[in-house]
Amino acid sequence: MSEELPVFVTEAIRIVEAGKEKGIILRIMGACAVRIHCSKKPQFILKRKLTDIDLMSYSQFASSMEKFFKSLGYEPLPTILPQGISLGRHIYHSKETGIAVDVFFDKLEFCHTIDFRGRLELDYPTITLADIMLEKLQIVKITEKDILDLIALLYEHEIGMSDDKDVINGRYIARLLSKDWGFYYTVTTNLNKVKSYLQSSELLKEEERKIVTEKVDKLLQLIENEPKSLKWKLRAKIGPSMKWYRDVESSPLELMKT
């Protein structure tokens, strides 16, 4: 399997496995995680260009991370972060391979916040499928590559009610969004963008588009049916007339590449 994977994916797996040997919990996120989970590898995923490695860990391992990455041939980069991005991250770079690794701790805080505390042990070597979905769906200005990642995940996996391997936990997603109207609004908007993209795209056959669309509808239904908190209901009355997300500028990794 590793021979078929891009160098970024095999390197991400190497880092996570090395961390396991040292007692350091690391899990793969982003496009590399999508490639690992999508074994059928639709052509548009095979053509997806990978540019870096994103990992999630716990803050209890932050003090050990620099020594650990240096042992693997990486050096830390100055973490000068733009306004609006949490300081809970490290950045490492290999001069030999040119690969950059972004390590987050406890939470992903971009347009919306995803809390990973207590969730990294649920899957290996990646974060759970539900969390990969949320990582993509929280992006207010979602891009085509993120939509394609979501389509690939939905094409190959069922919407379920647990974090079992190869199941997208729709119940977890619905319960999380039932407490946060802003996050709910971004996610449901993006799920409908996925449906619109499917209708106009020829990447998948008609029957394949139908399969993905039905899964989007199932997830949307779970989200809508979940009882909402009082805070959610009060915020929903205001709606999108008031800003519901956090602005995110270019990440340090993107700045480094320019």
Separation CA 98–CA 7 (nearest Å): 11
For residue 196, count CB atoms less than 10 angstroms from its CB and return exposed for 0-12, middle for 13-18, buried for 19 or more.
exposed
How many Cβ atoms are within 10 Å of 80's Cβ, its own excluded? 8
Please name the helix (run of DSSP H) or strand (run of DSSP E) that holds residue 30, with its range, or none: helix 30-37
Whether 245 and 139 have beta carbons less than 8 Å apart is answered as: no
pLDDT in the model for residue 83: 41
The residue range of the domain holding 136 is 2-257
Total domains in the fold of the chain: 1
pLDDT in the model for residue 77: 85
pLDDT in the model for residue 87: 56
Separation CA 214–CA 218 (nearest Å): 6
**Read out DSSP for 69-113?**
HHHTT-EE----PPTTS-S-EEEEE-TTT--EEEEEESEEESSSE
pLDDT in the model for residue 102: 95
* Entry pTM: 0.91
Q: If we measure between CA atoms, which residue out of 22, 12, 13 comes closest to residue 67?
A: 22
How many Cβ atoms are within 10 Å of 83's Cβ, its own excluded? 8
pLDDT in the model for residue 23: 98
Here the CATH number for the domain that contains residue 10 is 3.30.460.40
The list of the chain residues with pLDDT below 50 reads 1-3, 81-86, 250-258
Please name the helix (run of DSSP H) or strand (run of DSSP E) that holds residue 58, with its range, or none: none
